[in-house]
Structure formats: C-alpha cells, structure tokens
Chains A and B, each alone.
Chain A
Amino acid sequence: SQTIHQWPATLVQPVGSPLSLECTVEGTSNPNLYWYRQAAGRGLQLLFYSVGIGQISSEVPQNLSASRPQDRQFILSSKKLLLSDSGFYLCAWSLLSGLGYTFGSGTRLTVV
C-alpha cells in the first residue's frame, strides 16, 4: 500500500532563517506531488505541484521554492523565512488527474 511521510511534525524558526521540509511517498511510482499551506483560520492554499522529476509549477509568488530531486521526494524550501510563512504545511500525492489527494501528516511551522 502507498504511504506518505512528512517531517518534521513541528518546527519553530526565527525570522530570516532557512527552511527545508521534506516529503516522501512509498509504494507507488511517478505520483503527482503537491505542497499546500493552511494558515490559521484560513483555507488550504496550493503552493506548488509537480508531475515529474524536476518539474515544478508554482501557484502563487512567494518566499518559498520547491524541488523534486527524485521520483517520490518533494522538498519545500526557503532561504529566509518571514513571519507570514507561519502555517500548517501539507504535502499530498495523487496518481492521476481527477483523483483525490492523500495528505501527509503535516508540518506546523511557527516563525518567531
């Protein structure tokens, strides 16, 4: 069966520090991968999606970037965190367009 791993679960980082969040999927090949952010009291916002290695699409301009160095690995990064980057970051995967996503357990990021 397929599983998705996301870490760390919680993170407290100072303003201006770098960020690296990692997500890996097991039990499937060539998944579509997604990064979402959920700010406090707000809905889920799609940040990036990837349909293959090295293929990254950005949905909104921001202080973040994403990379997909391997088929089942998706990384969210920032060179310098802002207070507004605080939120609940969720990685998700799907196999085919039109199917629902499966989410990882999320990373709660607090920038102080």
Chain B
Amino acid sequence: QKEVEQNSGPLSVPEGAIASLNCTYSDRGSQSFFWYRQYSGKSPELIMFIYSNGDKEDGRFTAQLNKASQYVSLLIRDSQPSDSATYLCAVINAGGTSYGKLTFGQGTILTVHP
C-alpha cells in the first residue's frame, strides 16, 4: 500500500464548477497535511496546509481533513482555466527518524475547460 494515494486523473471540470481532489494516507501518526500545485515544467508551490480535523478555507480553496478516516481533500470553488495543473497531496510524520519528511502522492491532474 502506498503511503499517500491520489487518483491520478485527469479530472476535468468546466469553468466555474467546484473541483474536488482527494487523498488518503496510510500512517496514522501523520500530523501535517499539505496541498501543492505544480504547473507543467515548474516546481511545486504550496497552496494549503491543514493540521486539525475539519475544514480550512483560503479564498477559493478549502482543505478538509478527517484523521479517523485518514482522508484529506481539496476543494476549488469557481474553477478557472488557470487552475489547470497537477495537485500534489503531501503528508508529514514528524516523529521518529522521518524528521519532517514530506511524503508525496502521485498527484492528480486537473483540467478546467472554458
């Protein structure tokens, strides 16, 4: 079982719709959760992080965390063509020998079409 799993997609949504990106993780000791956006040929950029169960909103983005289900998601409201990118879910287990190590999922390709 992969440590962090994402549906590779591609996920295609129309402009203005809500895009829902999902991620599951295997390590119950995971403490911090991140969403990165990566445009083609570019490096990942951090767009959201969440540490506690529940929802966290930042502009058009909402991160949702459910530690009991080991599930984290990212919602993008009013999707724009400029949101088309690969979205990477990442998880940190800050204990033991994995000192602050970010483990990434494979990424979900999102395409927003006009």
Which A residues have a C-beta under 8 Å from some C-beta of B?
32, 34, 42-44, 46, 49, 51, 57, 59, 90, 92, 94, 96-106, 108
Contacts and interface: CB of A to CB of B under 8 A. Distances in A.
B45 A98 contact: no
Contacts of A106: 42-43
A59, A90, A103: which has the most chain B beta carbons within 10 Å? A103
A102 B47 CA distance: 11
17 contacts: A34-B102, A43-B105, A43-B106, A46-B103, A49-B101, A97-B99, A98-B32, A98-B51, A99-B32, A100-B46, A100-B49, A100-B90, A101-B102, A102-B46, A103-B43, A103-B44, A104-B43
Contacts of B9: none
Given A103-B45, A105-B43, A106-B43, A98 B100 contact: yes
B107 A94 contact: no
Given A42-B106, A43-B106, A44-B88, A99 B100 contact: yes
